[in-house]
Amino acid sequence: MAWTDERVAILKKLWMEGLSASQIAAELGEGVTRNAVIGKVHRLKLSGRAKPASSAPRARKPRATAASAPRRPSGSASSTTARSAGSRPAAASAPRRSSGGPAVAGNTALKMSADTEAEQSFELNAESEIFIPEADRIGLMELNEHTCKWPIGDPVSEDFHFCGRHSDEGKPYCEFHSKRAYHSLDRRKKS
């Protein structure tokens, strides 16, 4: 996939807004990896975002030279489809943008005005919470050591409930929410 002006514009915008490289990559398209995004960011020389001015001069690594490096063989573009072939519980594997629809709604919108429309669209599908069907909702009573205790809704509200999906023993949250709770809560506005 080539870096069109359009895509670069989106890249810049999202990067400036503080989105992580992987989020940008996901937003940009299926064939784009976070490495591609980062690489491009560097080439554009806009790598310095909120530089904490830390870290040591980064030691280099010898790195395997040519021949010994297995590296990805032919067909570089074929990696995207076979990504989630593993055996997963499938429950929380890919809530993100998995609906096999055509291009994301955002893409079309971006073509009209890459500056304003982009903001809303990516925010929607990147941050969207999962929805629990009415029947599957559980209250405090139903919580046990195997249910995800991720709260949904306003705790002082009536329709407040818990996620309730299976969670591993010892873990308070289901697979999906464990990640969310731990990681990306304020991913976009770190120090």
Partner DNA sequence: CCCTGATTCGC
Partner DNA sequence: GCGAATCAGG
Q: Which residues bind DNA (CB under 7 A)?
A: 1-3, 19-23, 32-36, 38-43, 47-49, 51, 54-56, 58-61, 63-66, 69-72, 76, 79, 179, 183-184, 187
Q: Residue 152 forms beta bridges with which residues?
A: 161
Q: Residue 22 or 137: which CB sits closer to DNA? A: 22
Q: C-beta of 119: minimal distance to DNA in Å?
A: 17
Cα 31 to chain centroid, rounded:
14
From 132, 135, 138, select the one nearest 92 (Cα to Cα). Answer: 132
What is the residue-wise DSSP string for 5-65?
A: HHHHHHHHHHHHTT--HHHHHHHH-TT--HHHHHHHHHHTT---SS----S-S--------
User: What's the DSSP call for residue 74?
Assistant: S
Q: C-beta of 135: minimal distance to DNA in Å?
A: 30
Q: Residue 1 or 124: which CB sits closer to DNA? A: 1
Q: Residue 39 or 151: which CB sits closer to DNA? A: 39
Q: C-beta of 146: minimal distance to DNA in Å?
A: 21
Q: Residue 19 or 148: which CB sits closer to DNA? A: 19
Q: C-beta of 52: minimal distance to DNA in Å?
A: 8
CA 20 – CA 37 distance, rounded (Å): 10
